[in-house]
Amino acid sequence: MALVYQQVEFLRKLLRAGSLSGAGRFVDKLEPAEIIDLLESVGPSEYPLLLRVLFSPGRVGAVSPLRVIPKDLLATFLERLDDRGLARLLKPLSTDDAVTVLELVGNERAPGITQLVSDPEQREQLRQALHYPPKSAGRLMNHHFLAAPESFTAQQAIELVRAPSAHAASTMSDLYTVDARGRLTGLVPFWKLVRAESEALLSGIMEPEPSHVTTSDDQELVATLAARYGFLTLPVVDAEKCLVGIVTMDDVLDVMQDKATEDLYRLQGISDGDRLGASVGASYRRRIPWMSANLVTAFLAASVVGLFEHTIAQLAVLAIFMPVVAGMGGNVGTQVLTVVTRGMALGEDRFLSVVRVLGKQLAIGVLIGASVGAMTAGAAYLWKGDPRLGVVLFLAMIINLAVAGLAGATVPTLLKALGLDPALGSGVLVTTCTDVVGFFSFLGLASLMMT
């Protein structure tokens, strides 16, 4: 529930008094929505202190802003801090989370903030991460991982895992092995490590050539690979095959969520930066280009209706059923588009030929069209008593829904073949196709059979 005035004032007093530990205990009892309320309620002087509380080392894994606050809102809050304040916030974060914060505040400020990071090791890791392309595995990876020379014995490896400096031990289930040059050679599951003879060499018990990704690989490829094979972590290697980091499951889930949001938005021609917390102006700028394009396609559908103006004037009843035919086509097209786009995102289309995919969706469209068309025809006959209208609706439904199924599969397939995102504006294109075909088939058949 929303915070009351007294709670906000109590926290502000703790912050003004410098009691960050007390403020931390207060924050730990809050729900994510209440944390957002706090960030929107505190004054300018308390704001940096509250973010320091939220980003403190003991709280990053629990109520970290990166986990509980939508990224667009968090970006708004972070932009209010100066570079030195942001550099202080990065200290308790892993490299991948710190890179996320830097990306939220913008590439222009990132180098200056990185320069102010106090820990030399973290500063160098951030510089390296920002050197990689955006949305690459290099930016996603965590630099804390467990690796041992393949010449180590099992006992030496166990001591390495037990060492206080083994930060990654709690988030990993495997120990990676490397050769003398640091190149990835294999992995040893922890269960196999603890059951091995003390003097057994890792080279003898490791699983060679583990699945891995490179620093330049796209994050979506990393997420797909991890999800397909159920990896909890994925090793990342550089151009020389040297092990430089790992990608963990929490980062994979973030990538998959971002990709799902991006595809959902693009299907409807919306920028993925358009969120509930965005300003009116920002949302307007992101939506107006596609809406303008959609207006053009709407006029295209209207021009088809204009071709049959004389028919509609003679048979005004047609105007009642025009939205039904076009609307059903749009629904079927959207269903097919969703199934096909999801299949492409998960790589399912690699196992099926294009002809098979298109043929299946065409057949489904015909079957649904016949079923829905029969119901619509029966309803129209009972309502208006004209069997010709029922026949026209039945045939128009079959034609339009068949085309809807074909278009819903063809549009993303063509976009992918052209090297574009299959979800890019597909919803607008498919809806335009079903509107045009729906109006043309319905009004055209009516002109032939009812006039």
Average pLDDT value for residue range 404-409: 91
Residue with tokens 């208006």: 384
User: What pLDDT digit, counting tens, does each position of 20-52 carry?
Assistant: 788 778 877 777 667 777 777 777 777 777 777
Q: What is the dihedral of CA 51, 57, 63, 67, to 10 degrees?
A: 90
Same domain assignment for residues 211 and 72: no
In a domain, 359, yes or no: yes
Higher pLDDT, 126 or 53: 126
In this predicted structure, what is the pLDDT of residue 181?
A: 93
Which amino acid, one-letter code, is at 177? T
Q: How far apart are CA 77 and CA 44, in angstroms?
A: 11
Of the candidates 10, 6, 1, 12, the one whose C-alpha atom is nearest the C-alpha of residue 39 is 12
pLDDT at 63 over 50: no
Mean of pLDDT over the chain: 83
In contact, 157 and 139? CB cutoff 8 Å: no
How far is CA 407 from each of CA 331, 384, 412, rounded to the nearest angstrom? 12, 32, 9
Q: What angle do CA 213, 249, 153 make, to 5 degrees?
A: 70
Same domain assignment for residues 41 and 167: no
In this structure, how many other beta carbons lie within 10 angstroms of the beta carbon of residue 329?
Answer: 34
Same domain assignment for residues 53 and 151: no
Q: Which domain holds residue 379?
A: 280-450
User: What pLDDT digit, counting tens, does each position of 365-398 carry?
Assistant: 999 999 999 999 999 999 988 899 999 999 999 9
In this structure, how many other beta carbons lie within 10 angstroms of the beta carbon of residue 19?
Answer: 16
* Token pair for 184: 């990835």
In contact, 170 and 146? CB cutoff 8 Å: no
In a domain, 268, yes or no: no
How many domains does one find in the chain? 3
pLDDT at 60 over 60: no
pLDDT band at 264 (very low <50, low <70, confident <90, very high): low
Which amino acid, one-letter code, is at 135? K
Same domain assignment for residues 158 and 301: no
- Pairing state of beta strands 213-214 and 207-208? unpaired
Same domain assignment for residues 298 and 431: yes
Average pLDDT value for residue range 308-329: 88
Express as a percent the part of the chain with pLDDT over 70: 87
pLDDT band at 61 (very low <50, low <70, confident <90, very high): very low
Q: Please say which residue of 262, 297, 327 terminates a domain.
A: 262
pLDDT band at 171 (very low <50, low <70, confident <90, very high): low
Among 21-35, 72-86, 214-228, 292-306, the minimum mean pLDDT is found in: 21-35
pLDDT at 419 over 50: yes
In a domain, 222, yes or no: yes
In this predicted structure, what is the pLDDT of residue 406?
A: 93
Higher pLDDT, 199 or 79: 199
In a domain, 140, yes or no: no
Q: How far apart are CA 284 and CA 299, in angstroms?
A: 22
pLDDT at 277 over 60: no
Same domain assignment for residues 97 and 158: no
Same domain assignment for residues 9 and 120: yes
In this predicted structure, what is the pLDDT of residue 21?
A: 80
In a domain, 16, yes or no: yes
Same domain assignment for residues 297 and 379: yes
In this predicted structure, what is the pLDDT of residue 371?
A: 95
In a domain, 100, yes or no: yes
pLDDT at 168 over 60: no
User: What pLDDT digit, counting tens, does each position of 151-162 carry?
Assistant: 999 999 999 888
